[in-house]
Amino acid sequence: MTKLGEMLKETTAFLKEKGVGEVDFGLILGSGLGELADEVENAIAISFSEVPHFAVSTVVGHAGKLVYGTLSGKKVLAMQGRFHYYEGHSMQKVTYPVRLMAAMGAHSIVVTNAAGGVNENFTPGNLMLITDHINFTGDNPLIGENDEAMGPRFPDMSHAYTPAYFEIAKKVAKEQNVPLQEGVYMGYSGPTYETPAEIRMSRVMGADAVGMSTVSEVIVAAHSGLKVLGISCITNLAAGMQSSLNHAEVVETTERVKAQFKELIKATLAE
Ligand code: HPA
């Protein structure tokens, strides 16, 4: 067995011992959106720091938790928080939770994030269905020897975000009267926010939103054969489109729309 295979064997054995059973959906809950995990029923919560082979978080205080249980009648394994490339973790460490979700039997993941709006029709507080991405991080989690047991050397990214899930999310958003934008997410490494020139470039390149996560996770999901639903919370207009950017604004906006966000995800899972 490969190194990665052995690591996953250890981590899955640990989770099973903790009572984690079958998984339908993996959830990755981005900045300010982690509260959804509090609604998981019959929850088993495990700190990231306890999980074998998880990255050691650089965030002081609240590192994040894995939460297993039932949400909208589905068995979910939720990441309340995630690992970021800008923390200094390798892309393999950042995406290990996605490998774990696949190893636990998930057929799909839901990835969420806070993002800056690049599309001029967006306003802060909009939710955006991610239909595709541009990996602009300058790295890729699949660089290195390919583990054939995990997936192919050259994965197809034509349908990395699952078209069948677009229809469900759009239908649910309509029923709930939640304005759901859609578009392309461009992933930067961070931790700086982009410059106004970079945002103009991103727009020309076809981006509708920018952020510092998600693309590496979705690459590994595609490699693993997982279906993907991606939702961004547009927390601000990107650099150059408003006077300045700060993290406080990102937090404030997610606070404002998190109820809508939670309802959208729950109802989409149910369907
Ligand atoms: N840029 C990058 N990441 C972000 C932004 C942004 O404007 N807003 C929230 N996350």
> To test ligand 1's pocket by mutation, which of 133, 137, 193, 247 has the most ligand atoms within 8 angstroms of CB?
193
Distance 179 CA to ligand 1 centre (A): 20
121, 106 in Cβ contact below 8 A?
Answer: no
Q: What is the dihedral of CA 41, 69, 187, 4, to 10 degrees?
A: 170
pLDDT top residue among 185 and 253:
185
**Residue 238 CA, closest ligand 1 atom number:** 7
Residue ID of nearest Cα to ligand 1 atom 5: 116
Dist CA 169 CA 267 (whole Å): 8
pLDDT in tens, 189-214: 999 999 999 999 999 999 999 999 99
Give me the catalytic one of 37, 84, 202, 224.
84
Buried/exposed 40-62: b ≥16 CB within 10 Å, e otherwise? beebbebebeebebbbebeeeee
DSSP E strands: which ranges in the chain?
25-29, 41-47, 65-71, 74-80, 108-117, 127-135, 180-187, 209-211, 227-237
The residue behind tokens 């509708």 is 208
Provide the phi-psi class of 213: left if phi over 0, else alpha when psi is between -120 and 50, else beta: beta
To which residue do tokens 């470039």 refer? 201
Say if ligand 1 is within 6 A of residue 245 CB: yes
pLDDT tens column, 41-66:
999 999 999 999 999 877 655 569 99
d(CA 104, CA 22) in angstroms, rounded, equals 7
Which residue of 212, 233, 237, 242 sits with most ligand 1 atoms within 8 Å of its CB, as the best mutation to test the pocket?
212
ipTM: 0.98
Confidence of residue 254 (pLDDT cuts 50, 70, 90): confident
pLDDT band at 248 (very low <50, low <70, confident <90, very high): confident
Max Cα-Cα span within the chain: 53
State if residue 213 touches ligand 1 by the CB under 6 angstroms criterion: no
Q: What is the identity of the amino acid at 97?
A: P
What whole-number distance in Å separates Cα of residue 4 and Cα of residue 164? 31
Which pTM value belongs to this model? Answer: 0.96
